[in-house]
């Protein structure tokens, strides 16, 4: 009996070790991604050095098909790089001088030279590995509950085993029989499965999240996310691209749209205003030739005035046109564009309106789908922005957002989150900028967009490496599934032990039924641990919603 018990427990432990190994596969995969050597350029010579010897400032050469050894900035060459290990995004990203590259990403088709900026433990990959390790080692509040239960459960079981032993012994049974009962109770009630129920599910879930570009920083964040019922999105750079684009060109007075854009772009070439930059970029994209600008003047808060090829050009808002007594013949169209959340820029040539160029910060393609998905999940969606209410409401209407918090100063974003929490809501904040950091920290769960600032990512509980808003519902769905899985594990682990104790204590034997052998008790105990682990491994099938 003693030999079989030990053999079965060891079998259970080895099956458990195999299953546990599978739970941390994500970390092993991440660790195996980093290359072992780098080619450093030193006085024109190529020297292959171990990755540990690369220092910030070194110039590194990477050929097509090779992995990027450390983080850095391209100084020469054009290529496309597969960053799937970092973002989960399968499409390669085009890179040019000045762009950042990250350790373990794969250089696809061009030779590049880049200057190392972060090495060793400072690289994005090393930071991700550390985050996932910390999360997998951290306890969720539900795990602490399991610990408390185990704390009471063990002494109670020991007492039951002693009482059962004494009851059978003093009722006239032999010492061997009474000891068999005592051992069976202790073996079947061993709370290994209770201890495994939560950490294994957390390990699989955080690893699966990292694989899909969703970095969950702690077990607590993973658990809290399933309770979220309100999500607040920052507008610029989160719901929208954060880069204004030309959306409409309306020409008047016999002007063609192409010529209108050409004149406006030539005038705006000297401007530093984001709306002006959008017009210049649009003209460049269409391959239009820029005209000579003889004189240029920026009028703050209004627009610009320029002389282009001997014609007098005014580009700006309605205030500028009114101040120069220029009749706005396209008023209806201008109101329609403003109602759609776009900024109409009026273009006047020789004191006569020539047309309107509308510029807007366009919505990310995934924003509408993500918000629809959150609504399906029963979550209220709000948007927070410093923009004027009209523009904000137009974007909210397009995206299907329930609640708009407009004209909010950066320092007041955290207060708005606090107000929602005061209404009894569990709030998640999604943002990307430095000004979002206090709100991310204030929210029950802060979710940072990976393309955002380091400060935002530091303040957040969850980081979305892909900058795709569909990962917001995916992160909440992963949390919901993990909590469901943990509850199933705890139910089976606790139910199994509780149901087995009376049988092991010989309750059935009193009524002429069978006696539970310690060997069968050991097999049942081992099986309960393995079944809990197998259930946790089902989370590996999780696929983000896209």
For the annotated catalytic residues, the residue numbers are: 234
Could you tell me the two tokens for 271?
A: 């401007």
CA distance 489 to 513: 30
Nearest-CA neighbor of 472 among 131, 220, 234? 234
Query: End-to-end CA distance of the chain, in Å?
Result: 54
Give the number of other CB atoms < 10 A from CB of residue 320.
20
Question: What string of H, E and C letters represents the secondary structure of 228-268?
Answer: CCEEEEEHHHHHEEEEEEEEEEEECCCCCHHHHHHHHHHHH
DSSP letter (8 states) at residue 539: G
Dihedral sign, Cα of residue 477, residue 478, residue 483, residue 486: positive
Give the number of other CB atoms < 10 A from CB of residue 396.
25
Q: Is 504 exposed, middle or buried (0-12, 13-18, 19+ CB in 10 A)?
A: buried
Could you tell me the two tokens for 527?
A: 């099986």
Whose structure tokens read 């590049």? Answer: 112
Phi, psi of 379 (to 5 degrees): -110, 135
DSSP letter (8 states) at residue 444: S
Give the number of other CB atoms < 10 A from CB of residue 368.
16
Q: Are 337 and 355 in contact (CB under 8 A)?
A: no
């Amino acid at each position: 009996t003693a030999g079989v018990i030990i053999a079965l427990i060891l079998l259970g432990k080895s099956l458990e070790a195999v299953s546990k190994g599978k739970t941390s596969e994500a970390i092993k995969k991440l660790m195996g991604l980093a290359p072992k050597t780098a080619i450093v350029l030193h006085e024109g010579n190529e020297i292959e050095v171990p990755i540990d010897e690369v220092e910030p400032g070194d110039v590194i050469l990477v050929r097509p098909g090779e992995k990027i050894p450390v983080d850095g900035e391209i100084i020469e060459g054009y290529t496309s790089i597969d960053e799937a290990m970092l973002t989960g995004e399968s499409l390669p990203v085009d890179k040019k001088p000045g762009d950042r590259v990250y350790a373990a990403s794969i250089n696809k088709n061009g030779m590049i030279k880049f200057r190392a900026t972060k090495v060793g433990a400072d690289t994005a990959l090393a930071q991700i590995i550390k985050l996932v390790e910390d999360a997998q080692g951290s306890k969720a509040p539900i795990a602490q509950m399991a610990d408390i239960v185990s704390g009471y459960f063990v002494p109670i079981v020991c007492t039951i085993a002693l009482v059962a032993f004494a009851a059978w012994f003093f009722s006239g049974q032999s010492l061997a029989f009474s000891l068999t009962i005592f051992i069976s109770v202790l073996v079947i009630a061993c709370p290994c499965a209770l201890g495994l129920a939560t950490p294994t599910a957390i390990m699989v879930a955080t690893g699966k999240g990292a694989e899909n570009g969703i970095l969950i920083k702690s077990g607590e964040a993973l658990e809290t996310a399933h309770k979220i019922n309100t999500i607040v999105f920052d507008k610029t750079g989160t719901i929208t691209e954060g880069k204004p684009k030309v959306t409409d060109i309306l020409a008047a007075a016999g002007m063609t749209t192409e010529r209108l854009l050409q004149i406006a772009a030539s005038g705006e070439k000297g401007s530093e205003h984001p709306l002006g930059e959008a017009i210049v970029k649009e003209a460049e994209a269409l391959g239009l030739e820029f005209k000579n600008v003889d004189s240029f003047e920026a009028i703050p808060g209004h627009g610009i005035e320029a002389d282009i090829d001997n014609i007098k050009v005014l580009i700006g808002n309605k205030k500028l046109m009114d101040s120069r007594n220029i009749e706005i013949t396209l008023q209806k169209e201008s109101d329609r564009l403003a109602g759609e959340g776009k900024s109409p820029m009026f273009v006047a040539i020789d004191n006569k309106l020539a047309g309107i160029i509308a510029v807007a910060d366009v919505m990310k393609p995934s924003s509408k789908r993500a918000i629809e998905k959150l609504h399906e999940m029963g979550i209220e969606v709000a948007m927070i922005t410093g923009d004027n209410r009209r523009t904000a409401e137009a974007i909210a209407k397009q995206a299907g957002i329930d609640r708009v918090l407009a004209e909010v100063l950066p320092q007041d974003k955290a207060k708005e989150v606090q107000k929602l929490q005061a209404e009894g809501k569990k709030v998640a904040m999604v943002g990307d900028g430095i000004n979002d950091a206090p709100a991310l920290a204030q929210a029950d769960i802060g979710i940072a967009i990976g393309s955002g600032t380091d400060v935002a990512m530091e303040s957040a509980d969850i980081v979305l490496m892909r900058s795709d808003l569909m990962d917001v519902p995916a992160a909440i769905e992963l949390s919901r599934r993990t909590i469901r899985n943990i509850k199933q594990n705890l139910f089976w682990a606790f139910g199994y032990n509780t149901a087995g104790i009376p049988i092991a204590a010989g309750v059935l034997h009193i009524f002429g039924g069978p006696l539970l052998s310690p060997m069968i008790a050991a097999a049942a105990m081992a099986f309960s641990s393995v079944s809990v682990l197998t259930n946790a491994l089902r989370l590996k099938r999780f696929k983000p919603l896209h």
